[in-house]
Every structure is written in C-alpha cells, then in structure tokens.
C-alpha cells in the first residue's frame, strides 16, 4: 500500500510539474507577443494644411477615433477587467503621446498598429486603417495636430496570468499587428460619392467585418459579452430598410421598424458621415450576394 501511495505521489508531482511548466511557457510566450518590438517602414505622407482638408480630417476622427479615445481625444479606460487586466486608449492630443509624434510615427501607429517604442498597439484597429488612402491618413494627421492639448495620463497596460494563458491558447483573436502585411503598398480611395465602390471603401476602413463576419452575413464580435453581429447582406433585414431608412437609422439609432440598435453598434460615430457616405455604405451592402445568416459558435 505504501509503495502504491509513493508512486501515486510521484506521478501527481510529475503532473503538477508539467502543468507548472506549461503555464510558465504559455505566460512567457504571451508576454513575448505583447511586448515584441516591430521594425516597420512607415510611409512619408503629405500632410495638408488647408481648412477643407483639416475639416475632412475632423470628420474621419469623429467617426473612427473618438469612440475609443474619448470626445476630447484624451483617452479612456478602454478595457478594465480585474481578472484579465487593463488597457487604456491613449491620449492622442498634443498633450499626450502625440506630443512627440512625427508624421512617420502617426503612420506607423495608424496603419501598422505599432507604437513609437515599436511595441504593438493592442486596440488600434490598424487592420482596418491599413486600407485608408494616403490622402485620408494625411487629413487625419492634419486635424490631430490642431486639437487642443489635454494633460491626461493613463496607467500602462497590464495583463494577468489568466489573461495571458487564454490569449496564448487562442481565446482572443490575433493582435492587429500580427494580421497586417507590413510590406504591402498603400491603398487608394475611390472617388467620393453615393456609389458601391466608395461604400466598399468605407465598410473596409470602419471594420464592419470585425462584428459582422468576413462575408458580412453575421459574426461574433471579440467582446465576450457582445451579441452576434447581424446579417448585413440582402439576405438580412437591411434589405427591407431602403437607403433613406438606413440613413435614418444611423442618425437616430432606431431602425425603420422602431427597434433600437444594440449599444455595440457605433451608430453615434457613423452619424458623423454625411448622407452620401451613408447611402454609399447601403449601396455596397445591397450589392453583396444574398446570404443566409452565418452559423456562429457563441
């Protein structure tokens, strides 16, 4: 009996040792990915100074940036879950991280998801901004240089052991910086107008596929408590709205049938698009194949 207990203790000890080794390995691998230094080659961009370009840059920022970085762009506590960690959206006014940003630093951050220190920017949606044209990126940077500085600092990001383990095991998506081909040429933008082509461009840079799936027929957003993203193709309910109904929904947060949009839908940001831009988005969505709602594992 003593011999059996002895061997049982040895086996249990070995199993615990293996488990501890696995935990240490996964934690180390996750930290390595989160702190990896990336050497990317940002592209020199012409930054306009005329009032029209700066005003257009403000519109891009209103739609694409304030939802995470706050109304005054001084940053927010984007993700704060004690069991997982803390990630803050940076202060991108001239009083924050942007104080010492060069134009190349801005392009590195926006289209590559890499900070001035070379580390990944965890919540910067560069996977989408990668598709923005040089002209539009230049307008964004031009506007950001004009905003009032705000003196606001945030705690550095931190992740718990549990977060690192499930991240390395694939519970979350890849980092945006890991998805981007950093050597690909920059993209151009179609001519502005209520067209399918321009709508495709806006859908791409807004990251609609993050929540609605690669084919836009439904998807699971990365937030654990987020609902399923609905089908945006003609196979979903959007086909019954018509273009004016879509514009009305993005202006009010209420569908043509009186249903309020879920809080995860950034309609308040998209409300800053003008009617032509919203109609372009609707035209593109209605040009897609009519697909059934995707089968999604919750």
Domain ranges of the chain: 51-160, 196-287
pTM for the whole thing?
0.90
What is the mean predicted confidence (pLDDT) over 18-43?
A: 89
Any idea what DSSP says for residue 99? G
CATH 1.10.760 is the classification of domain 51-160 = yes
Per-residue pLDDT tens digits for 67-89: 999 999 999 999 899 999 999 99
Question: Are residues 231 and 211 in contact, defined by beta-carbon separation less than 8 angstroms?
Answer: no
Counting every residue, how long is the chain?
Answer: 298
What average pLDDT score do residues 149-162 get? Answer: 93
- Do the two domains 51-160 and 196-287 of this chain adopt the same fold? yes
Segment 92-96 shows an average pLDDT of 94
Structure confidence by residue, pLDDT tens digits, 167-207: 998 888 889 999 999 988 888 899 999 999 999 999 999 99
The average pLDDT across 259-282 equals 94
In tens, the pLDDT along 222-263 reads 776 678 889 999 999 999 999 999 999 999 999 999 999 988
> 4 falls in which pLDDT band (50, 70, 90)?
low
**DSSP H/E element including 81:** strand 76-81
Share of the chain above pLDDT 70, in %: 96
Q: Burial level of 4, CB count in 10 A (0-12/13-18/19+)?
A: exposed
- Domain 196-287 annotated CATH 1.10.760: yes
Q: Are strands 217-219 and 229-231 parallel, antiparallel or unpaired?
A: antiparallel
> What whole-number distance in Å separates Cα of residue 109 and Cα of residue 129?
10
- Max CA separation in the chain (angstroms): 87
Taking the C-alpha atoms of residue 278 and residue 286, their distance in angstroms, rounded to an integer, is: 12
């Amino acid at each position: 009996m003593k011999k059996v207990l002895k061997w049982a203790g040895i086996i249990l000890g070995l199993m615990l040792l293996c488990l501890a080794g696995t935990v240490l390995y996964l934690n180390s691998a996750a930290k390595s990915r989160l702190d990896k230094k990336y050497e990317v080659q940002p592209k020199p961009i012409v930054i306009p100074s005329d009032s029209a370009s700066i005003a257009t840059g403000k519109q891009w920022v209103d739609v694409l940036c304030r939802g995470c970085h706050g109304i005054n762009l001084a940053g927010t506590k984007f993700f704060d879950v004690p069991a997982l960690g803390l990630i803050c959206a940076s202060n991108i006014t001239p009083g924050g991280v942007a104080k010492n940003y060069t134009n190349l630093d801005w392009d590195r951050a926006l289209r590559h998801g890499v900070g001035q220190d070379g580390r990944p920017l965890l919540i910067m949606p560069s996977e989408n901004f990668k598709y923005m044209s040089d002209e539009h990126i230049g307008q964004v940077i031009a506007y950001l240089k004009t905003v009032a500085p705000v003196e606001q600092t945030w705690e550095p990001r931190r992740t718990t052991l549990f977060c690192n383990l499930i991240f390395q095991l694939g519970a979350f998506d890849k980092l945006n910086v890991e998805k981007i081909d950093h050597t690909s040429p920059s993209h151009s933008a179609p001519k502005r107008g209520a067209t399918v082509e321009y709508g495709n461009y806006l859908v791409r840079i807004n990251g609609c596929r993050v929540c609605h799936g690669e084919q836009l027929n439904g998807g699971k957003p990365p937030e654990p408590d987020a609902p399923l993203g609905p089908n945006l193709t003609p196979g979903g309910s959007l086909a019954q709205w018509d273009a004016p109904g879509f514009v009305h929904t993005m202006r009010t947060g209420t569908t043509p049938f009186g249903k309020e949009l879920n809080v995860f839908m950034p309609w308040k940001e998209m409300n800053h698009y003008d009617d032509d831009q919203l109609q372009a988005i609707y035209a593109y969505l209605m040009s897609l194949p009519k697909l059934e709602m995707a089968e999604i594992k919750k």
